[in-house]
Copies of this chain bind each other. A is one copy, B any other.
């Protein structure tokens, strides 16, 4: 309850400095990024190390390397800084139009661009019909940015797709589950098949799987590097790659595409997720709406049991 000061707690300024140095592994560049001179930065890091009683960086001959403790602080520091900026953002939004009524009247919902479609539309419609509905702003995210947006306070709630997204660190409710399709160039021999297995489209020499960045870095491999769905769609149309997408992703299908069901791909499960602590009435209402919407849909449609893993 009582948060101790001084020795036990780190200032976000110190964390910003350390994270910058740890990411750049170079005091000069880190200082430049921080908009300050190098000497005070060096001193600040030294003070931090002395206060923690721990060696964070190994300064050998040319450059800097992280120690084990440094790696821990980099990870924890990022999380703390995310929490701090999220605190600022969410507080600003909560007091935005200075609504004296007490309840915030706006929710930011992060979704992956070109995903979910009907689910999103149904959710927005159903929620808008609620008597206490807040205004919902839809924040379009590329790739798996919903996680970052939720973490840093840019969004209040997100639609996530497991296993593409990770729910780690968030509260969530499952909304729907669906199979996946292989999307091939229409002229490809495999495009004539009724169904495909994951093995059928793995390691095809003519169609290497595209690679997208996880946390900013691309995994090594033969396939092309992409960073959004449109690029992927074009590459498929050009006959350069094969894509695996959820069944409901037909929104961005092109005439040059052939979509074949994958019999053994892991199901894609759509969740509604939100930061652990925040649970405003408006957010709770949106979540309730989403869960009711999907449970009613599942009972009307024949519920299909999906195989596990």
Contact = CB atoms under 8 A, between A and B. Distances in A.
Interface stretch (A83-91, A135-143, A285-293, A298-306): A83-91
Nearest to A104: B68
A67 interface: yes
A308 interface: no
A228 interface: no
Interface residues of A, number: 67
Interface in A209-257: 216
A192 interface: no
B84 A15 contact: yes
A263 interface: no
A78 B33 CA distance: 29
A92 B52 contact: yes
Interface in A182-213: none
Contacts of A129: none
Interface of A: 1-5, 8-13, 15-16, 19-20, 23, 33-35, 52-56, 67-69, 71-73, 75-81, 83-92, 94-96, 98-104, 153, 168-171, 216, 276-278, 280
